[in-house]
């Protein structure tokens, strides 16, 4: 992997140049201590020293609401796909979100490829940054997502007066050559980067899943009927907040919207979530997960078993957003996995 160095004084000009070439979305402080990915109007708005954002950058490649096609009816019937996409740079993406996007890439390219997602993803550049502060809810070490070696175009590591920049793709290389003043990293800078990255997993030592990563599917299989799911369901609001803030949840509902004149309309998709009561309802009113405990169990199995069995990695990257968003405080995967193991 090629390593370059950008002096911190040269980083704002890099951002400014990039903003002239494409839309740039970066991490900003929304209110004190709360962060979000949002379009940058100035390099000064960018914050790379944050713990976790309220929502993941997923929303820019899989929007909460997305038009899929537009149609007309009547004597002349037409149907045209809508492929909305433009060059975009996502800056400040933490390793766990890089890993989550890589998982979505794999899922939306599998079997029936999602052309809408693919188009947006092809036009998106990911500039990641190593974690400097850990959210109290995060457990990235347990999910192998505290650091990452692939899935990005560029990855920044703060080593003091400068950033080392790992080049992860030809697109990343092109960005540096066109818009940044950079130089080859020295051996000392490369060593400093390694030292910084080696310390990152230890930020999460106080919040860990006690079951090894590859043994979580067996844990869930052995406790599929555990009373814990009923206990959690009694407190669950079925609000879907845990689904909506999750960087790896990709379920959506498809709806048609007809204009009042009944001659035109559009088909669009919306984020959906398995904790919502109507998620598993089908035509005729049958609901395959009518009981709330079944929905709670399904979410946990999706994160710790089903995705792993298909792709070899869990559908949870340890960001902790679900735990922080849950009002009754029952969605924390660390607590659930550990309680299942302890039989409590």
pLDDT, one tens digit per residue, over 281-305 is: 998 989 999 999 999 999 999 999 9
Q: What is the pLDDT of residue 72?
A: 92
* Overall average pLDDT of the 87-102 stretch: 98
Band of the pLDDT at 262, cuts 50, 70, 90?
confident
Supply the mean pLDDT for the chain: 96
* Overall average pLDDT of the 219-238 stretch: 97
Q: What is the pLDDT of residue 231?
A: 97
Q: What is the pLDDT of residue 99?
A: 98
* Overall average pLDDT of the 10-18 stretch: 97
Q: pTM of the predicted model, to two decimals?
A: 0.95
Name the residue ranges covered by the structural domains of the chain: 2-204, 213-342
Q: What is the pLDDT of residue 127?
A: 98
Q: What is the tens place of the pLDDT at every residue in 56-75?
A: 999 999 999 999 999 998 88
* Overall average pLDDT of the 93-97 stretch: 98
Q: What is the pLDDT of residue 76?
A: 85
The two counts, helices (H) then strands (E), for the chain are: 12, 12
């Amino acid at each position: 992997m090629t390593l370059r160095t950008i002096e911190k004084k040269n980083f704002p000009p890099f951002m400014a140049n990039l903003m002239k070439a494409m839309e740039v979305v970066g991490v900003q402080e929304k209110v004190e201590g709360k962060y979000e990915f949002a379009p940058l109007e100035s390099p000064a708005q960018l914050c790379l020293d944050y713990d976790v954002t309220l929502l993941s950058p997923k929303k820019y490649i899989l929007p909460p609401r997305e038009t899929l096609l537009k149609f007309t009816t009547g004597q002349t019937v037409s149907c045209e796909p809508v492929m909305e996409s433009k060059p975009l740079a996502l800056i400040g993406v933490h390793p766990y979100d890089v890993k989550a996007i890589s998982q979505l890439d794999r899922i939306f390219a599998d079997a029936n490829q999602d052309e809408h997602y693919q188009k947006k993803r092809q036009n998106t550049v990911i500039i990641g940054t190593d974690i400097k502060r850990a959210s109290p809810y995060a457990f990235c070490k347990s999910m192998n997502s505290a650091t990452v070696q692939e899935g990005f175009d560029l990855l920044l590591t703060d080593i003091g007066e400068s950033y080392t920049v790992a080049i992860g793709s030809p697109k990343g290389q092109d960005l540096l050559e066109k818009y940044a003043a950079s130089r080859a990293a020295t051996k000392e800078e490369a060593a400093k980067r390694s030292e910084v990255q080696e310390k990152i997993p230890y930020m999460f030592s106080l919040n860990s899943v006690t079951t090894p990563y590859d043994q979580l599917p067996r844990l869930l299989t052995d406790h599929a009927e555990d009373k814990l799911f009923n206990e959690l369901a009694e407190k669950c609001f079925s609000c879907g907040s845990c689904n909506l803030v999750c960087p790896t949840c990709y379920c959506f509902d498809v709806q048609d919207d007809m204009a009042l004149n009944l001659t035109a309309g559009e088909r669009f998709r919306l984020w959906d979530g398995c904790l919502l009561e109507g998620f598993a309802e089908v035509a005729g009113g049958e609901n395959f997960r009518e009981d709330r405990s079944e929905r709670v169990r399904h979410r946990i199995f999706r994160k710790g078993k089903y995705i792993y069995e298909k792709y070899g990695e869990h559908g949870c990257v340890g960001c902790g957003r679900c735990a922080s968003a849950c009002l009754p405080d029952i969605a924390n995967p660390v607590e659930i996995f550990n309680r299942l193991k302890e039989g409590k």
